[in-house]
Chains A and B, each alone.
Chain A
Amino acid sequence: MQTLNVKLQDLAEGASGKIRFIAGPPWFRQRMYELGLLPGVQVKLVKRAPLGGPIVVEFLTQRLALSPKEANWIHVDVV
């Protein structure tokens, strides 16, 4: 399995990764940065909602729900 530069959406449930970079439009990056989802921060994919819904990720002891499209903009290195 490729461990570098994986999309957050493709992480397995329970797996962790370090943010490599965040793509997508500037307003999205800004929002994620404000929430503390920054390059270098470790995130864990906690849960996938039913029927391909949003995913729940944990970082800095907080949890965030993200819809799949946005989760595809976030690139991580699996750790």
Chain B
Amino acid sequence: MLRVALVGNPNSGKSTLFTALTGESAIVGNWPGVTVELRKGLCTIEDQQCEVIDLPGCYSLLGTNPDEQVAAQFLERGDYDVILNVVDSTSLERSLMLTLELTDLQKPMVVALNFFDELQKSGATIDTAKFSEILGVPAVAVSAVVGFNLPVLKEALLRPRVPNVMLLDRTVENLIRTSQKDSQLTRFSALHQIVNNGSALDDVFSSLDGVHPSEHIIMERYRKAHEVASQVMTKLPNKWAVSDLLDHVFLHPRAGIPAFLVVVYLVFRIIFAIGQPLTELAAAVVSYAATGLTSLLPNGLAKNFINNALFGGVGNVLSFLPLIFTMFFVVSLLENTGYMARASLIMDRWLSRFGLSGKSFISLILGFGCNVPAVLSTRTIDDPVERKVAAMVIPLIPCSARLPVLTVLGAALFGSRAITVVVFAYVIAVLFSLVLAWLLRHLAFSKVPSFFALELPPYRRPSLRLTFKLAWFRSRDFLGKAFKVVLPLTVVFWLLMNLPPNSSVENSFLGLIGRFLSRTLLAPLHLNWQVSSALVFGLVAKEAVLSSLGQIYGLSGTALIEQIGRQFTFASGLSFITFFVLYVPCAATVGALRKEVGTFWTVVQFVLQIAVAYVGSLLVFSLVSLFFK
């Protein structure tokens, strides 16, 4: 099987091309650093099976961020047959620096000159034949979004070529030859060695006028890239005209921040204006199906199971799919226009007070979708301390799995103005995550200043078809989780609720656990045993809290909402919401966190988060009872 590795700068369209070639799902967004992990997919070219591997973007193979190292290590291991170098043809000169570095690997290669549609619109052209001749590899002008020239690219993948050796200046070439003589290294490894051990070679230093060899090599590559680019490109593309107009508003000294707030407000409004009615419709369908089906069944354990566990549990969660989908749709739309990068810029200064930078902003926003990819996305943050802090505060951000529970609680407490409660929960969560970030940055880690450098892409018109697909990819995880995680949990919950046999719910194992918790750990929060036992299941997945509540009260839809409403006073309700939003990361997030920050910091995070939730909800309880008697 032919293994094709997609390598290129961040935001050069690798994942878009990956999706176009394989039809597999991959997340794309118009900002650098979307992909942080390997992703594989299959495609067939002229009866030949190919495996395509999507890699995180990198500016160089010597980069030190974890996402760049994923790419570099993959290329060094050599588990591939062809390098497909994806180049942003509207930034040819810069992109070529990586291309030149790739030629040093001396592996079969093909270059895809992506964004050709934008290049043509900007009035510039690239002489692909000449380009291909200079580098000695096939080069194809493509557009991954439009699908332009993809068949030609596919065909080219079957006849890749080992690139020409792109010679650098005499000093560097001499150095390469010396280290190759000493130890039979490939050109790439020799360069690597020079870069890494450069400081040890004093004579090298003096021959370069005191410039560090690694810097000298980059400058040489740039000189070469410039040379190649000016040979194949007629004129420089002018791609900023439209973006300048938009940025005039979105990055305006005075209008920029209000514009940001308007965008956030609109996002909220759209999600609820469209998602809420659809969700109510879905809930009605679920309860209709439940009553219809259960009326046919004889009374007994089976009926109890179907009614409670399936409809009350999983059904309740599933009815929120429309809301979740709408949310992902709107966020994907935002990501693919390029506004995300602007928002991160606007927020940078503000976040720097809490020891984070604009880069963390993007990760935090992703957290509203799902905490797991958000934690992984911190890999692209340059500053290692900030990377850790961001990863550790993300679990406080209310993910889409918490949204259904919040919506139900909101409706229970506030009726039609449920959205107020959701907004309240979001504000609380953001507030506490910033406080936690500040604490971590200033107390746990030394006070290193944060760093912010982000490539700003031009604004792009997002394709509705692709946005739809993206929203679907992400909602599919929600759907999958409802069956793979929530369903088993619901079964466990149901068993605990019905064992030992013939006992009342209150005296079941579940009742025991719930009562124990509500009398001890959760006693200060005034939570009853039903709610306490539901919270336990949120440790695994947050949606499970809703399915558990549905089961324990044996209700779904509006009946459930009314029932919950009766369980809380205003103060205890808000305090419970605060606790629920903050209390612990779900099992999957803990796993991701361990991967990124290690076991020790994961344990610290877990303890801290429970503490924050505790303090937060007590605070809310006493404040609210003080003001609303």
B91 touches A65 (CB 8 A): no
Q: Which of B234-242, B261-269, B492-500, B576-584 contacts A (4 or more CB under 8 A)?
A: B234-242
B219:A66 contact, CB within 8 angstroms: no
Q: Is B335 an interface residue (CB 8 A)?
A: no
Taking CB atoms and an 8 Å cut-off, the chain A residues in 38-79 that contact chain B are 38-39, 41, 46-54, 56, 58, 60-67, 69-70
CB distance from A45 to the nearest CB of B (A): 13
Query: Is there contact, CB below 8 Å, between A70 and B453?
Result: yes
- Given A27-B64, A34-B60, A50-B346, A64 and B451 touching (CB < 8 A)? no
Across the interface, do B63 and A70 meet the contact criterion of CB distance under 8 Å? no
Is there an interface contact between A63 and B451, defined as CB atoms closer than 8 Å?
no
Size class of the contact patch on chain B: 35 or more
The reply to whether B352 and A67 contact each other, CB–CB distance below 8 Å, is: yes
Report whether B257 and A51 are in contact in the complex, using a CB–CB cutoff of 8 Å: yes
**Which B69-124 residues sit within 8 Å CB-CB of chain A?**
90-91, 93-94, 97
CA distance A26 to B214 in the complex (A): 10
A61 pairs with B215, CB closer than 8 A: no
Q: A50-B253, A50-B257 are in contact. Are A28 and B451 (CB under 8 A)?
A: yes
- Residues of chain B within 8 A (CB-CB) of A64 are 453-456
* Residues in A neighbouring B91, C-beta threshold 8 A: 60-62
Does B251 interact with chain A (Cβ within 8 Å)? yes
CB distance from A56 to the nearest CB of B (A): 6
8 A Cβ contacts from B217-244 to A: 218-219, 222, 236-237, 239-240, 244
User: What CA separation (Å) do A65 and B219 show in the bound complex?
Assistant: 22
| Contact between B349 and A35, CB atoms less than 8 A apart | no
A51 pairs with B349, CB closer than 8 A: yes
User: Per a CB cutoff under 8 Å, which of B62, B215, B256, B357 touches A49?
Assistant: B256
| B348:A53 contact, CB within 8 angstroms | yes
Q: Which residues of A contact B277 (CB under 8 A)?
A: none
A34-B97, A36-B97, A60-B94 known; A47-B247 Cβ under 8 A:
yes
Chain B positions 168-222 with a Cβ under 8 Å from a chain A Cβ? 212, 214-215, 218-219, 222
Residues of B contacting A52 in the complex (Cβ-Cβ under 8 angstroms) = 349
Contact B218 A53 (CB under 8 A): no
Tell me, yes or no, whether B442 is within 8 Å of chain A by CB: no
> Known: A35-B94, A48-B253, A54-B358. Is A70-B452 also a contact (CB below 8 A)?
yes
Q: Is the CB of A36 within 8 A of B94?
A: yes
Whether a CB of chain A sits under 8 angstroms from the CB of B345 is yes
Q: Cβ of B455: which chain A residues have Cβ within 8 Å of it?
A: 35, 62-65
Contact yes or no, B219 A33, CB < 8 A: yes
Contact A39:B349 (CB < 8 A) given known A49-B251, A54-B358: no
B252 proximal to A (CB < 8 A): yes
B382 to chain A, nearest CB (A): 7
Residue B254 lies at the interface, judged by CB distance under 8 Å to chain A: yes
Bound: A53/B450 CA distance, A: 13
Q: Which of B59, B93, B345 is close to A56, meaning CB atoms less than 8 Å apart?
A: B345
Nearest neighbor of B88 in chain A, beta-carbon distance: A62
- Neighbour of A69 across the interface among B62, B97, B218, B449, CB < 8 A: B449
A34 pairs with B63, CB closer than 8 A: yes
Kindly state the separation between the CA atoms of A53 and B342 in the bound complex, as whole angstroms.
Answer: 12
State how many angstroms separate the Cβ of A37 from the closest Cβ of chain B: 9
Q: Tell me whether B215 and A54 are in contact (CB under 8 A).
A: no
CA distance A38 to B216 in the complex (A): 11
Q: Mark B340-359, 1 if CB is under 8 A from A, else 0.
A: 01000110110010000110
Residues in B neighbouring A35, C-beta threshold 8 A: 59, 94, 453, 455
Set of chain B residues within 8 Å of A60, measured between Cβ atoms = 91, 93-94
The residue on A at minimum CB distance from B259 is A50
List of A residues within 8 angstroms of B218 by Cβ? 30, 33-34, 38
Q: Which residue of A lies closest to B59 (CB)?
A: A34
- The answer to whether A54 touches B345 (Cβ under 8 A) is yes
- In chain A, positions 1-48 with a C-beta closer than 8 Å to chain B are 26-36, 38-39, 41, 46-48
The chain A residue with its CB closest to the CB of B217 is: A33
Check B239 against A61 for contact (C-beta < 8 Å). yes
- B residues 355-391 touching A (CB-CB < 8 Å): 357-358, 382
Contact: A30 with B348, CB < 8 Å? no
B63, B240, B247, B451, most chain A CB atoms within 10 A: B451
CA distance A34 to B63 in the complex (A): 9
Q: CA of A51 to CA of B252 in the docked complex: distance in angstroms?
A: 10
Taking CB atoms, residues of chain B closer than 8 Å to A50 are 251-254, 256-257, 346
Specify which of B94, B214, B345, B456 is in contact with A30 (CB 8 Å cutoff): B214
Q: Which residues of A contact B222 (CB under 8 A)?
A: 33, 36, 38, 41
Residues of chain B within 8 A (CB-CB) of A33 are: 215, 218-219, 222
Q: How far is the CA of A30 from the CA of B218 in the complex (A)?
A: 9
CA distance A10 to B385 in the complex (A): 29
Residues of B contacting A46 in the complex (Cβ-Cβ under 8 angstroms): 244
* 16 residue pairs A–B, Cβ–Cβ below 8 Å: A29-B215, A32-B453, A38-B219, A41-B222, A48-B253, A49-B256, A56-B247, A60-B94, A61-B93, A61-B239, A62-B94, A63-B456, A65-B358, A65-B454, A66-B453, A70-B453
The 6 A-B pairs of least Cβ separation, nearest first, read: A67-B452, A34-B59, A53-B349, A36-B94, A63-B456, A50-B256
**Chain A positions near chain B (C-beta within 8 angstroms):** 26-36, 38-39, 41, 46-54, 56, 58, 60-67, 69-70
**Extra 10 A-B pairs, beta carbons < 8 Å, given A34-B97, A36-B93, A51-B257:** A29-B215, A30-B62, A39-B219, A49-B345, A49-B346, A50-B256, A58-B240, A62-B91, A63-B455, A65-B348
